Structure formats: C-alpha cells, structure tokens
Structure 1
C-alpha cells in the first residue's frame, strides 16, 4: 500500500534517541530468536527507515513506517533471518523516499540491497484487471524469486499486512485487492508451503470480497451445537488414551475449519454447511518417522479406517515439500474422522514452508521445501521462454496454482508430481521436452495406452518415442500442465514455419521459372535490397509470408527479376489460370501434411487422387479445392491467386470426406451402414440425419479416407447392403 506523500519528503534525522514505539517493540519481541547483535541491526534499520519515510502517512493516518515494520513482524513470526527482516523494514524506501540503493548496501550489505531492489520491482504488481501488464509483472516476480526466494516472502508478508488493514481502502479497491489475493498470492503461499500465511490471506480475501457470506459462516462455526463439541471431546479422549497406553510422546490437536475452506468445499462439492461440518479433524504430532507409522496403527485400532482414504505423503511428499500421513476413520457417531500424523519438523514445514529453510540451514528436511520451491520456479521460467504471450504464460501458471496432484513413478523409480487429470503426454513432457515432442504412446503399469490416457497416483509410466514423431495440434486438447501446452505450441509454430518456408521456396521458384530465372541466379545484392526494403530480417521470413498468402509469388518474382527482361514480356509470362491448372502442367506437389500453410476446403473436401487447384488466401496460405468444385468459378475473378498444385507420390494419412447414404427408415439401419464403413477401414467423424420420412432416410456420414481408391472401396461396401438405396460422395 503506497504512502500518502507529504509536501516535502526529505530524510529527517534518525529517531535513535526517541522512545521505541509499540510497533517496533512488537517486532523486537517477535525477533527474540535472534542474537542481541542482530536485534541492534533491526533497531538501526528502523531508524533509517523511519527517517526516510518521515512525514509520510498511510490512508489510515498512521505514520507510514508502521507498515514496513509490521511486514517485518509477520516474517519474524516465521523466524526468518535478519537480512530478510531488514529488507522488509526498508522494502518501500527505494521507490518512495530519497534513500538510494548504494546507501542501503553501504549500511546493511549487498544482500539486503538486492532484496529491497527485488521487492521494489514487484511493488507495481496489479493482476486480473490490467491483464497484459499484470502478466509481464508476474514474469518479473518469478525472475526475482528465482534469484532469492526471500523476495516473494517479503511480498507475501506485505500483502498480508495490507489485507489486515484493508478497511481504509475504497470498496472498489477492496474487491480488486481481495480478488488478486485469492487468485495469485494465496496460491503462491500454498505452493511455497507457507500454509499459515496462505490460510490468513484466504480468510481475509474472502471476508473482503463476500463480507456477508463470511460473517454467516463464521457465526455458524462459532456457535457449533453442544452435542458436536461433546462428541469431539469424547473422540479426542479415546485417541489420547490409546496413544498414551502405547508409550508414544505426542501432541494431539483438533483441527478447526476456516470459513474459506468451508465455503470452497460447499461450492465445489455442492454440499450444505451441515454436510461439510459433519467431519471431525485431528492432527497428531510425534517425535520421529517410525512413530508416525506407529501412531497410524494405533488410530486404526481405535476406529476402523475407511477404504481407499489413506495417503502417505511422508514416503511421497507433495510438490511443495509437505509431508504427513492422512487417514479417514469411521467415527462412533457416523461422522468421518480425518487424521493427519506427522513429526514436529514436518509440522513446522507444513505451516511455514520455505520459511522453515532458515531454521534448518545446517541440514534437515526443511531444505526440501526450499529446494522444491526453487525447482518449481526454475521450471516455470524455462517454460515461459517458449510462451507466445504474457497472458498465455500467466494462464499456464494459474493452471499450476495448484490443483490436486497425482504421484507417478518413472521406470527408474523416480517420483514425478503432476496435476490431477494429467495424461501420459503430460508425463512425457515432465520427463523432458524432447521426450514429449517425440512421444507416440505410453506403457502404464506395463500396459500399452494412448497418450491421452489420464493417470492416477501410484502408476508406473514409461513413454514410447519415435524419432520421426512430432507434436500434433489436437494434443493441446488433452494436456493439463502449462509446460506441456507451452512446449507443444512452441514446437507447432516451429514446424509450421519450416513447412511455410519450404512451400514458399517452391512457389517463388515456380514464379521465377516462368520469368526464365531462379533464386540461385538472382544477384545477391538485389535480393538483399528487396528484403531490406520490405523489412524482412532474412529470406526465410519472406518465403514464409509467401506461403501464408501475405505476398503473391508472381508479384515478388516480377520485382526480383525486373532487370532481366522487358516489362511487357514479364506480364505475358504470368500464369494463366485454367490452362496451367490442368494436369501435366508444372505444378507444386503437396503431401497434405504441410502444417499451417495448406488447408482443405470444406465445400468439396479434396482427397488424394482428385484433380485439385490451390487458391492463395491471405493469412491462411493455400486452400485446396477440387477442380470440379462449384466455388472454383468464383475464383476466376482473381487469377493471380491461383496456384497449380498436385499430389506428391509420398502422400499418406487420413483425409476428411463425406457420404450421403439413402436407406430404409427402420431401427438398426444406421448400425449396419456404420459397420460397413468400419469394415472398409475408415473412421467415422460424425453422423447426421439430413431428412427422413416413413420409408426413406438420408444420412450424412463424415468419414476419413486415404485416397480415391479407399473411398471407392467404402462406397462399394455400403452399396452392397440390402437396406441401402443409394450412396453419393459429397
């Protein structure tokens, strides 16, 4: 939250001799874990910050310095290092005061200056409404996080204090800030394992966005029926008694649901308040990992576990480093009992996430949350390099923030965490981008499956690749991860560009041959001058533009060859439409798989073997029609856009076509025709009843065939059926 600037904002003398105000005493008390020497550094940072912000106030009227000190207090409660606390106190000085970076570095060291600089660059973050700028800011945030995760910790603490003091804002600002918090900041806190901060951000965001709903839920939670409180106490007593009898040292706490968690569960699962609250939750914290499994056995002996509801996040931690055993028991009152079992260290990491890293600098599993957070950010930054736009990147990150995860095994036994609904193709891209790009199928638990197969936790997945395989546009329909989506789009663009360059080269060559020259015979200086005049960085860009219909090859050829013949002769050499489109002419041969630059007209659906022509369309490249297509007549008006094309000998794959079949109108006929089409080895894409009366029905089948010979075979098989009156290719 920006300060309200005074008329003059020059630094005042540091308030070193003044009485220490309450807000600073609160920070020093929270930072009691630091040695005296480091707490003196904090006092000095406050003095410098207070001097820099002198005269500035918040919207509430308080001195501005109260805000950065409160941010530092939030972080001190997470027991972070002194450099983070100093940077938090000074995090607004670079942007809002005359205090410079060099002065901060000279007084508190280069690390503090780096952190303050990193946070300053993030302070203009606005999400959701200012979309493109927001996404660019988000990229910067990730870069800053990649350099030092403490930057985002300060940013999250800053947002938390702003949420605590949101009442001073206008209603519109409250709603905008609350929505940003719920969509971006709270999920990032969760992804970094900082669950205490995440929970408070969610609750404050919910209260600001939906104050009435929050108040109703909070009141219902507070006034739980006496019967429920008694039931909770009785279950707790039974668990405690058995754990004690087993000689376990433990901490047993009942878990209270927050208004936000109840609200989201009610909406997501369509449950009533009573249904959501009809669950008892407990957490058991013990001393070691073996004791976790011992305690699990104990609780299963007290109450029977529900089948299929046990999760072992100790053996397979979540992507943010979270570890715990989860089990659901059948309670004595017919209500399920959810139990989490973990060690003290796991409990600390579950609540503080990467903040626990600074408490376990000398080894210990606290580092795992930190390492996993770094690898997540590194992965996002890697994927953003191949992303077309900032908005697409932000959308991919939102996908990763943060669905339920499935845990999968590679053939070597390594564990990969992917979002729920991830497919075998997502797994392939998670292993490596090259593996994804060349994937053809997968083996899941040794069973061969297609790439679109959805995966579930515990499966062992092996990806089958082929050097000739390449991403297909329809892959985008069934991937669930941002990395896979970005990689596929990037590769498709690359392939489309290559195809466009090759086709454009052939088209320009044909046009130049009509003028008795070629690309190879053109003077290099003339070609370079043409590229420069038309702002093409290299020849490939011009060729791709020709293929996509943005430049006419004949016109480009005319300009390039203008000094080699007289203008009238050149005009005579331009292609004449009908004569040159006939078979046997000098045609460009196509395979049908030129991605992004060749499309097949829906009006006549040409297939290999048909006599075809190409129409050069701006932005779409060549649209292929059959020569006998009725629409070809209209294209006579633009002969310069006609392209002489034919089928290459190496054509392969399936092409769309359609049949109109007239049949007897009675039950079971459709199945007979569909079976005949399938027996001819053709796929059916769609079926539509065009018209029907009591005796005859006309059915349109959209099918896939290899060529004219194949469609003739399909028609023959369908005609043999006794229920069929006639078959016609559309």
Structure 2
C-alpha cells in the first residue's frame, strides 16, 4: 500500500532531504484540508493526491510539482484560498496549484463553443508553466485507473475526453508512457467488450510469442557480445489500443499485427547506437525503406531513436529500436524528463515544447473564433511529421501533407504573407506542392505580395491557416475602408458636397447613431455592403437630394481585391456593360447589366452603376459552352486551342448528348472581350465544332 513514508523513500533517491520534507509537509497540509472527504470508492480523499504525486515521482519530477500534486484539489475542494498556500509554501507552488485547479474546472462535455473556449484556457495555462499540464496529466491518469466506480455514461464521457484531448497532449509532450496508459484505460472504458476480446486474443498467442521473443532476444544479445558492444535488449509488447487502432485504420487482422515482433536495445552512447545498428543489419537482412533515424532528426515532440525493420529467422519480420538511456527516459517521460536530465540534448527538447506552446498562443491570438482555434490545434495535436531543410540547413518539422506555403509560415509569418514562389531542391515548384522529407525548400518573397485566399484550399497547418485568415481579414478591412470612402464621396459629390465640408459635430452625431467608433468604421460598413452610401449621405447632409444620387458610375480598376467580386452567374469581363449589387458582408458583386439574376436595377438600396477603368488589367473568368462532335482527345484539343490564345482553363466538364455530340462547359481566364474573341476564334478552328456560346445567365 502506498504511504507518504514509502513515497519519501523513493524521492530521497533524487531529491534533497529539505525538498522531501517540503513534500511531506504538503501531504500533511492536504490531509488536514481534506479531512472527512472521501472518494467515490469510499477511500480517504488524500489517497488520490498521494497517488498523483507517486506518478510524478516515477517521472522524477521536481519537488514543486510534487508539492502541487499533493495540494492540487485544496483550492477547489476545501475553500482554502491561494494566498494561504503562498504563505505556507511558495508563490511557485501556489501558482501551480491554481493552474491545475483551473484546468480541473474545464469540462469538455459541454457544447462545441464552450468546449473550444475551455481548450483555449488550457493552452494559456500550458504557456504560463508547462508543469501545470504535467500535474494535470498525472491527475487524469490516476482518475482513469479508478474509473470503475463511475456510472457507465460518465465513464464513456471521461474516456472520450481523455482520448481526444489528454492522450494527444501527452503524445505532443513526448510522454509516451502516460499516453499509452491513458489510451488503454480509455479504450477499456469506451469499448469494454472489444478491449476484453483483444486481451483474450493476446493471452492466447502469448505462449507461442514468448518462445519466439526469447529466441530473437538471445540471438540479438549474442550478436552484441560477439561484436564487443554493450546494450540491454528487451521485447516490446503492443498495447491494446494500438492493436485495435491498427486493425481499424489499416484494415489488418489481429494475426497480421501480432506477427511482427518488436525489440528495444538501450545503449550508453549515441556512437554505440549506430554501431549496434550496423551489427543488427549484419545479423538480419533489413527491410528496404523501413529505416528511420530519429537521432539525427528528432520527432517534433523531442523523441530520439533509431528504428529499423528486419527479416528475422524463418522470414519473421521484427522491428528494432536503438537508443541511449537518456533517450529512453525521454521517450517515456518526454518533457517531464527535463527535471531528470539537465543535458544539452534536453534543452533541445525543451525548446521544441516551448516553440509548440508559443505556436499555441499565436494560434489563440490570431484565430477568428475559439472553434477555429480548436480546429487548428487538433491538426497540430496529431502530427505525422515531415522533415525538410531551409537553404541554410536548418531542419523544419511539419505535419504530413504540408505544402510550401505551410513551410513559409513555419519559417516566419512575414515570409508566408509575402511569398510568391518556391524552389524545392533548387527547382521551381508550385506553392501547393506537397513536401517530402529530406527536401530543401527555398521561398521567394516580394514585399508587395499578399496572401492568396486560394491557399486555404491546400494548406494543412493550423499556423498557416490562422495567419492567412488574419492577413485576409486585415486586407479586406483596408479595402472595405477605401471602397466605402469612395462610395460615400461619390454620393456627396453628386449633391455638391465633399467630406471635408461636413461639420465634425454632424459626423460625430451620425457615428453615435450608428454605434461606431470612428469615420473609418463607417467607411468599412459601407464598403462591406452593411450600410447604403446614399442613406449615410442623407444623414450627413441636410436637404440631400436623392434624385441626383448615384448618377455617376463608380469606376472598377480590377485591383479592389476582396471587396469587389465578380458574379458566377454571368461572368462579367472588361468592356461588358456592368452594374453592382451591394451584398451584405461581401461588398460589391459585379454583374453584366442584362443578367437575369438582377431584379429591379432602379432599387438604389441594392444596385449602383459601375464602369470599367480605361487602363484596367488583370485576368477575369468567363464561362463558355462549346457544342461539338464527340471525338478522341477532346479536352486536349480544347486546352491546346485556349493555350495558343494565351489564356487558361480554370474548370472544365463534359456533358454527352446522344453519343455523337457533346457540350463542354469551361471557365476560361481572359483579359477583356477582345481577348475572349481571340480565344473563341482559336476554338472555332477545331474540327467538329458546332456552336460556341458565352454564358450570360
């Protein structure tokens, strides 16, 4: 049975007598504070803080964390204030206890929005002191071990929350032992029948497996001795949740998964790791493409080891991990091992975690909503890493499936916001190209470049997504202000007024009426289509003549960006007669004047006259319907004709009519109507063309 004395004996192996006495004092203080309180199981409440402290002692955590573990429920459950803990112990211990108490109040069974906001609080707590989450993980682990006293629905809820939130955090912090325990206990609580069946199946094959493991272990140990090397060899057991997940995700049978035998070799130096690896590859033939060097390139959570797959005796596949004792401790306890090892290698691990927590804070600050924050963090909590290099040789860890844009934002936000092209292994490549481990990526930037909304369709990292949305939001705001000012000035000038002629008192009165802080906010509201410019002009100017308003068309230059969009029903292009529809939150949507989607064009609440600027440039989409005879290589012929006319096909679809003819609908980018006529001219040269029509709705 665990007691404070037995725990103190274990702690004395790595802590000073003064530190151990401080932990004893915290225990007795908590025992007194929780006097009369009992757990659901009927045990005295103090057994829980003692068990949490014991879990942290296995990780060799520092004395402040162990004191906080003893006291972690005191503030919440006994009414003792934080100030009392500061006085009795220290501010550091009291802050830890307060942090863990706040995490305990977080409930993830609430609605999505509340859950997201709670997760934000957790990120903030981790940023202040990472030990808060380590104590919380130990607390959750003991609660999972004693979950059977809860009702089945509550067991399932807590287990689901543990599997979705706490186990991934343990993994991200490199705390493998805690992660595995949380996953297995959650699996047992959520799916007791499946867990039991896998347990029985493992037991059934364990006898045979034990013999095979013993043979392999003997062969590996003999090889190490023969080569005058040193290392401890152990067989690794697969945990139940891992077996279940592989069966489910990889569609493999239980026997296929259990046919692979895994071993770990722990040595005393990095040099010895590589020497043992060479011995293993001499002993058994390696499986091509299955060697991974996580020592040279550690995982994002700081994990280091050599992994290799081999064809063992009788062709039986085996997996071997080779690592040092420090790496083994790091693999088990992750960030918690920082308090056990103070070596330079661990400082690297510390910096990785600090970088991840810093990224969490950046995501939290830039996210448009708490739900967006959680969506992005969940991507980062389940990393399947890709390792790429900067031109100067710095290693960057990215989520699998990352593109050059994700890489650019990982380097720096400004690099991402201004990137225009990239080189992968010295060759120009599209920004959307998925990166592979080992590639060297160089980003080409331009100071005047801005993020492209289309990037959101292919980027995968939360950091890139948040920063792009943030930049686009700012860009849209600037453009909305500019457009709103232009629209309001146009309305006022029609009545012979200028903005500078309106009394400041009148402007302040209108802003107060609209509940806006400044004139820029008013421009933004007009630019986004939330307020109609001539109504605002009426409020600003007494005797405003509505009949003279909106006579002069607003000029479209094509550089308005996000606040002017082009209708997908009629696809207007320069030189088309156009009209603008004010769409709430979007700004102006440009239509062709005779577009059937437009209702009453005289309704000045919704529609404003527009005209193209004389010197307008850029690319505009237009939709064509091409009716032609069915033939081989149809799309290639059309694409070639469009390309010859110096245009691009954005979308294309084919609709077969009667087996002989078909209609191809394609969206083409052109500069203006003259350019469009050149494209149509090239298309008409194709044999079998029956009809070409432009879509105008």
1:125 is paired with a residue whose SS is: coil
Deviation at 1:650, TM superposition (A): 4.6
Structure 2 CA distance for partners of 1:344 and 1:684, relative to 1, 3 Å = same
Report the TM-score, using the length of structure 2 for normalisation. Answer: 0.96
- The answer to whether the 8 Å contact 1:353/1:370 transfers is no
Counterpart of 1:374? 354
Structure 1 range deviating more: 34-43 or 390-399: 34-43
Provide the rounded CA distance (Å) in 2 between the counterparts of 1:431 and 1:247.
45
- The answer to whether the 8 Å contact 1:421/1:455 transfers is yes
Provide the rounded CA distance (Å) in 1 between the counterparts of 2:82 and 2:537.
58
Counterpart of 1:414? 394
Q: Does 1:353 align with 2:334?
A: yes
Deviation at 1:407, TM superposition (A): 1.1
Provide the rounded CA distance (Å) in 1 between the counterparts of 2:208 and 2:70.
48
Counterpart of 1:552? 532
Q: 1:161 aligns with which of 137, 142, 150?
A: 142
1:376 is paired with a residue whose SS is: helix
Deviation at 1:668, TM superposition (A): 4.1
Structure 1 range deviating more: 607-616 or 676-685: 676-685
Provide the rounded CA distance (Å) in 2 between the counterparts of 1:645 and 1:488.
30
Q: 1:571 aligns with which of 546, 552, 558?
A: 546
- The answer to whether the 8 Å contact 1:163/1:205 transfers is yes
Q: 1:96 aligns with which of 55, 58, 77?
A: 77
Deviation at 1:226, TM superposition (A): 4.3
- The answer to whether the 8 Å contact 2:2/2:51 transfers is no
Q: Which structure 2 residue ranges, 5 or more long, are not aligned?
A: none
Deviation at 1:669, TM superposition (A): 4.3
Structure 2 CA distance for partners of 1:607 and 1:97, relative to 1, 3 Å = same
1:144-543 map, 5 Å: 144-224=125-205, 226-361=207-342, 363-543=343-523
Counterpart of 2:585? 619
- The answer to whether the 8 Å contact 1:250/1:286 transfers is yes
1:635 is paired with a residue whose SS is: coil
Q: Does 1:602 align with 2:581?
A: no
Q: Does 1:729 align with 2:694?
A: yes
Q: 2:652 aligns with which of 676, 687, 698?
A: 687
Provide the rounded CA distance (Å) in 2 between the counterparts of 1:368 and 1:315.
12
Deviation at 1:599, TM superposition (A): 2.1
1:142 is paired with a residue whose SS is: helix
2:313 is paired with a residue whose SS is: coil
Provide the rounded CA distance (Å) in 1 between the counterparts of 2:94 and 2:633.
78
- The answer to whether the 8 Å contact 2:534/2:546 transfers is no
Deviation at 1:228, TM superposition (A): 3.5
1:317 is paired with a residue whose SS is: coil
Counterpart of 1:6? none
Deviation at 1:654, TM superposition (A): 2.2
2:286 is paired with a residue whose SS is: coil
Deviation at 1:35, TM superposition (A): 3.1
Deviation at 1:413, TM superposition (A): 1.0
Deviation at 1:670, TM superposition (A): 4.6
1:609-648 map, 5 Å: 609-632=575-598, 634-636=599-601, 638-648=603-613
Counterpart of 1:703? 668
1:333 is paired with a residue whose SS is: helix
Structure 1 range deviating more: 53-62 or 475-484: 53-62
- The answer to whether the 8 Å contact 1:441/1:451 transfers is yes
Structure 1 range deviating more: 139-148 or 83-92: 139-148
Provide the rounded CA distance (Å) in 2 between the counterparts of 1:222 and 1:603.
65
Structure 2 CA distance for partners of 1:115 and 1:641, relative to 1, 3 Å = same
- The answer to whether the 8 Å contact 1:194/1:350 transfers is yes
Deviation at 1:289, TM superposition (A): 0.8
1:520 is paired with a residue whose SS is: helix
Counterpart of 1:712? 677
1:15-26 map, 5 Å: 22-26=2-6
Counterpart of 1:11? none
Report the TM-score, using the length of structure 1 for normalisation. Answer: 0.92
Deviation at 1:29, TM superposition (A): 4.2
Provide the rounded CA distance (Å) in 2 between the counterparts of 1:45 and 1:659.
77
| Deviation readout 1:539-571 (Å, 9 max, x if unpaired) | 121111112221110010011011xxx36xx23
Counterpart of 2:88? 107
| Deviation readout 1:3-52 (Å, 9 max, x if unpaired) | xxxxxxxxxxxxxxxxxx84434533442423333322222211111111
- The answer to whether the 8 Å contact 1:27/1:70 transfers is no
Deviation at 1:692, TM superposition (A): 1.8
1:237 is paired with a residue whose SS is: helix
Provide the rounded CA distance (Å) in 2 between the counterparts of 1:456 and 1:631.
46
- The answer to whether the 8 Å contact 2:388/2:397 transfers is yes
| Deviation readout 1:653-686 (Å, 9 max, x if unpaired) | 3222111222223444454333212322222233
Counterpart of 1:676? 641
* Root-mean-square deviation over aligned CA pairs: 1.8
| Deviation readout 1:285-316 (Å, 9 max, x if unpaired) | 11111111110110000001111111111111
Structure 1 range deviating more: 486-495 or 363-372: 363-372
- The answer to whether the 8 Å contact 2:287/2:309 transfers is yes
Structure 1 range deviating more: 101-110 or 126-135: 126-135
